[in-house]
Amino acid sequence: MNTNLLNSKFARIGARLKVADHPSRRSRTSGVISLDVQTDRKGEFFEIVRQPGAEVAVLDVQPADRHLLLLVREGRDKSKFLCGYDERHWFVAGIPEAAPVGTVRQAKEALKPAEVQTAQARQRLKAKARSRRKNAAYRRQGEWFFLPVADLAVDEKLVLRDEPLSRGNGGKPHWAEFCYRTGGETVYVCSRYPNGVTEAQYRKIMAGSPKAKGWGWRTMRRNSGVYVKGRIRHPDHATITLHGWHRVVMNTEGQSKAMRNVAFLD
């Protein structure tokens, strides 16, 4: 790995890079390389912790867009990561291995779920419009896409106020002013179990630990259809306002095996 070359590539998008032998904070990664966004006195920087056997290279750099595409080789395995700047902060996102990408633009498209790609194709969006956070097909805030839905029949008694949207990785949730969920299964969520546990698992936890009642549990729906409207808030992003109901879908980074190497949480 040519550290000087990597530094120059990251500098082209206005970012700092530090290559370290050990992560600056406790890492939750399981791969031979760790990617993270850290902060020091000078501000944010990308951190790469590389173990023997991993090779790192930059495939594409887009200085005007402040994004680059990173390739990591682990023996016969290849992983790709989109590193860039979104609104207020730097980020790292793993690209699904099934997507044949070699450029930043292709990586951005690969991070869009099928519902989003269908919506933008229906609107016949050009490449420039597809890269915007707001266009005729969707609104985007971070990893979440919001697709407008016409004539959604909603039971007003089931509409929730100030509901979190979380991908369950311990990151900061996005908050929806109004939320309506359909289908899915009921789960119990707390900071120790961000992905949620079933009713049976919840009862087992309660029976096994007297302190578990004080863990701040809340009931949520997993794998449900989620629709939101009103203000969508997150401390790292500008608040957006959705007029009318929008279907919520998450980007595809969760489908990527490469995410096992990412310590970054937004």
pTM above 0.85, yes or no: no
Confidence of residue 257 (pLDDT cuts 50, 70, 90): confident
Residue 88 token pair: 């207020």
DSSP H helical ranges for 104-164? 104-110, 114-122, 127-130
CB 222 within 8 A of CB 245: no
Confidence of residue 266 (pLDDT cuts 50, 70, 90): very low
User: What is the CA 23 to chain-centroid distance, rounded?
Assistant: 21
Give the model confidence (pLDDT) of 10-32 as tens digits: 999 999 999 887 665 555 555 56
CB 241 within 8 A of CB 231: yes
Q: State residue 174's pLDDT score.
A: 94
Which residues lie below 8 Å from residue 114, measured CB to CB, with a gap of 6+?
none
Give the model confidence (pLDDT) of 145-204 as tens digits: 999 998 898 999 999 999 999 876 567 899 999 999 888 788 898 888 887 899 999 999
Percent over 90 (pLDDT), the chain? 64
Angle at Cα 204 formed by Cα 199 and Cα 210, nearest 5°? 120
User: What is the CA 3 to chain-centroid distance, rounded?
Assistant: 27
Q: State residue 77's pLDDT score.
A: 83
